[in-house]
């Protein structure tokens, strides 16, 4: 084959491939790669090898689809993984999952003992945040009756908090009047007096933890459908509480999973609060920043409906954060180094992100050497062995509107994985 020479992005070059294809081939076939997929293969969506849902529910499994229209531009396959979340349905747990290393045949084989890297690309639509916001509309109120004259987005459900001028943070939809999700009247649980017609919105009041990006957990080699993502030493990448920026967490403790987790954030006494936190604890934009809000990703700078429900508009992200840009492909890289299972000596975690067009990563989260617990798991005795691409939202209520999440170009490796270079 003649040597490959690059030209304009997306245009075939010598060898019959585009720069994007060459970039994917270079990353996915490098030394150390244990598994890689662009979701174009004939067995990428075999059930139960690579798809699962709570109770193996057919409606949930039907949400996991191959999308051949929205892969990374310029790539040969043009494929990506898409998981749909229909309006009115609860956020169950359909997931694409598989082994981090297909040569492993036992659950006792895992990533512990040496650094392990996972890279994937993901697209989050604006509608994923609007599903959390649930609804935007024009309405007025009198006493305990809310009258919605027009709907802009989403659906009204009982239990939602109503946000707007004249409403406190605890006014909820108690029951339907003439409305049943759209225009009409709704009964409120508090008397708000007289509120003139104007723009309003609702947000969910469930104990949502924020939607997941991926889970590094357990894979049952002998019976894949019984695999468990939630194991004692899992690592989870997510958008915590819909704040519109990525974070991650691992479980606490040095024994079996005890129901607690530790997000990678650091206590920090800022000028805004003596009990502040750095939410993306690896972000430091330097002393030349205008202020601490721009220098760090601080909990005190959360913007949105209110402190209890978090951010409902991703365009208003925390100014110091590395944000999730909606409706565009972003790249994530996780580095997990479990040296001590059942302890934390030598254990490390790092997370990097890149926006579309970036040719280098930004480090957003870290657990420095010796600070990361790796609880012992009776089944997965050498740490996680599986990867779950999943948008699960813990304890979430029904989605307010149709939405989805997408993933592309998954790579697992024992070596560092470069940031994509061709766009």
Q: Is residue 271 part of a domain?
A: yes
Mean pLDDT computed over 310-314: 46
Give pLDDT, residue 251.
Answer: 80
Task: Using the predicted structure, report yes or no on whether residue 77 has a pLDDT greater than 70.
Answer: yes
Same domain, 217 and 305: yes
Same domain, 232 and 154: no
Task: Using the predicted structure, report yes or no on whether residue 91 has a pLDDT greater than 80.
Answer: no
Q: Is residue 19 part of a domain?
A: no
Task: Using the predicted structure, report yes or no on whether residue 309 has a pLDDT greater than 60.
Answer: no
Same domain, 118 and 184: no
Q: Is residue 20 part of a domain?
A: no
Give pLDDT, residue 20.
Answer: 93
Same domain, 224 and 364: yes
Which residues lie across from 157 on neighbouring strands? none
Same domain, 120 and 31: yes
Same domain, 80 and 116: yes
Residue 373 to residues 2, 113, 242, 321, 370, Cα–Cα distance (Å) = 50, 14, 26, 25, 8
Give pLDDT, residue 318.
Answer: 81
Same domain, 230 and 83: yes
Q: Report residue 164's pLDDT band, with 50, 70 and 90 as the boundaries.
A: confident
Domain count, the chain: 2
Mean pLDDT computed over 194-211: 80
Same domain, 252 and 332: yes
Give pLDDT, residue 257.
Answer: 47
* Residue where one domain finishes, among candidates 203, 238, 261: 203
Same domain, 122 and 256: yes
Q: Report residue 316's pLDDT band, with 50, 70 and 90 as the boundaries.
A: low
* Residue where one domain finishes, among candidates 144, 172, 203: 203
Same domain, 344 and 382: yes
Mean pLDDT of the chain: 86
Give pLDDT, residue 305.
Answer: 36
Q: Is residue 180 part of a domain?
A: yes
Same domain, 386 and 304: yes
Give pLDDT, residue 208.
Answer: 64
List pLDDT tens digits, range 328-357.
999 999 999 999 999 989 999 999 999 999
CATH of the domain at 92: 2.60.120.200
Give the separation between CA 79 and CA 125, rounded to whole angstroms.
Answer: 17
* Domain housing 139: 135-203
Same domain, 106 and 247: yes
Q: Report residue 317's pLDDT band, with 50, 70 and 90 as the boundaries.
A: low
List pLDDT tens digits, range 245-276.
999 998 876 544 455 567 788 889 999 889 88
**CA 395 to chain centroid:** 15
Q: Is residue 422 part of a domain?
A: no
Q: Is residue 250 part of a domain?
A: yes
Give pLDDT, residue 308.
Answer: 35
Q: Is residue 284 part of a domain?
A: yes
Mean pLDDT check: name the lowest of 94-98, 127-131, 320-324.
Answer: 127-131
List pLDDT tens digits, range 363-395.
999 998 888 889 999 999 999 999 999 998 877
Q: Is residue 285 part of a domain?
A: yes
Task: Using the predicted structure, report yes or no on whether residue 93 has a pLDDT greater than 90.
Answer: no
């Amino acid at each position: 084959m003649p040597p490959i020479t690059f030209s304009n992005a997306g245009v075939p070059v010598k060898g019959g491939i585009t720069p994007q294809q060459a970039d994917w081939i270079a990353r996915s076939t490098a030394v150390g790669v244990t598994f890689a997929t662009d979701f174009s293969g004939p067995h990428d969506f075999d059930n139960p090898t690579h798809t699962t849902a709570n109770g193996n529910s057919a409606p949930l499994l039907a949400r996991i689809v191959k999308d051949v229209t929205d892969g990374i531009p310029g790539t040969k396959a043009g494929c990506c993984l898409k998981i749909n979340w229909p309006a009115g349905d609860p956020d169950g747990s359909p997931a694409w999952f598989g082994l981090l290393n297909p040569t492993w045949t036992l659950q006792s084989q895992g990533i512990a003992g040496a650094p392990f890297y996972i890279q994937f690309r993901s697209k989050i639509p604006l509608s994923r945040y609007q599903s959390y916001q649930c609804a935007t509309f024009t309405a007025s109120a009198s006493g305990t009756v809310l009258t919605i004259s027009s709907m802009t987005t989403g659906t009204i459900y009982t239990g939602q908090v109503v946000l707007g001028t004249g409403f406190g943070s605890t006014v909820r939809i108690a029951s339907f009047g003439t409305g049943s999700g759209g225009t009409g009247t709704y009964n409120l649980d508090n008397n708000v007096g007289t509120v003139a017609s104007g723009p309003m919105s609702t947000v969910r009041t469930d104990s949502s933890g924020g939607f997941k990006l991926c889970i590094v957990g357990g894979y049952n080699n002998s019976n894949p459908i019984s695999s468990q993502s939630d194991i004692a030493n899992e690592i989870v990448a997510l958008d915590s509480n819909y704040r519109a920026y990525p974070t991650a967490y691992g479980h606490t403790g040095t024994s079996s999973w005890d129901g607690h987790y530790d997000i990678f954030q650091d206590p920090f006494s800022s000028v805004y609060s003596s009990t502040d936190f750095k939410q993306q604890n690896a972000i430091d934009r330097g002393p030349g920043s205008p202020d601490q809000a721009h220098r760090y990703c601080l909990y005190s700078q959360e913007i949105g409906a209110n402190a209890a429900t978090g951010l409902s508009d991703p365009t208003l992200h925390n100014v110091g954060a590395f944000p999730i840009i909606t409706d565009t492909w972003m790249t994530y890289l996780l580095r997990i180094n479990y040296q001590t299972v059942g302890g934390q000596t030598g254990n490390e975690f790092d997370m990097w992100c890149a926006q579309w067009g970036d040719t280098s990563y930004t480090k957003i989260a870290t657990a420095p050497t010796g600070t990361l617990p790796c609880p012992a798991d009776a089944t997965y005795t050498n740490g996680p062995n599986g990867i779950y691409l999943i948008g699960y939202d813990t304890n979430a209520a029904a989605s307010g509107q149709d939405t989805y999440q997408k993933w592309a170009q998954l790579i697992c490796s024992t070596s560092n994985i470069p940031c994509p270079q061709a766009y």
